[in-house]
Copies of this chain bind each other. A is one copy, B any other.
Amino acid sequence: MDATTEALQDAGVDPRLDRDTSNCSIARTLEVVGEKWTILILREVWYGSSRFSDFERVLGCPRNLLSARLRMLVEEGVLATETYKEPGSRSRPKYVITPKGVDLVPAVMGLLQWGDRYRADPEGPAMLSRHRGCGARVDAQIRCDQGHAVQPEDIESIPGPAFRLRPAE
């Protein structure tokens, strides 16, 4: 333990327990995708749905919530609206994923993988993911910039540039 940490702890302040968690990146991400339905909507976009009626049909989600979640995802830049036109119909909006949305895929793959491992039906998963190039199964894993596969216990979490203590109450 370094001297600063020790001095803080003498004052009853523990940087781990008294840090400000409001700017935590996990919490920040959950502000966007932490509500009910949001991740499931992204899953469906990922599987190829794009229309309001698609989401309603496959998710069985209430229309008012669906409408609110789609609007929020568009505002956040995770989805974007385009228009499509069926012959004989007018143009209607559809929802497509943006690069910012694509960057959520590793997180969603992580959830998928855990469910596959621990909560799948006896016969296996409902869906499989494979690499279009080689056909091999795909999964989320942790790597470092040096390219090493990293075991969770070998991840060291240290205060970053925006670390701060929670203001005294």
Contacts and interface: CB of A to CB of B under 8 A. Distances in A.
B30 A111 contact: yes
A26 B155 contact: no
Chain A interface: which size bin? 35 or more
B131 A154 contact: yes
Contacts of A57: 17-18
A111 B29 contact: yes
A9 interface: no
Q: Please classify the interface of chain A as helix (H, G, I), strand (E, B), loop, or mixed, using the class held by over half of its residues.
A: mixed
A84 interface: no
A109 B144 CA distance: 12
Interface string A111-146: 111111111110111111111111011111111111
Contacts of A65: none
Given A107-B107, A108-B110, A126 B156 contact: no
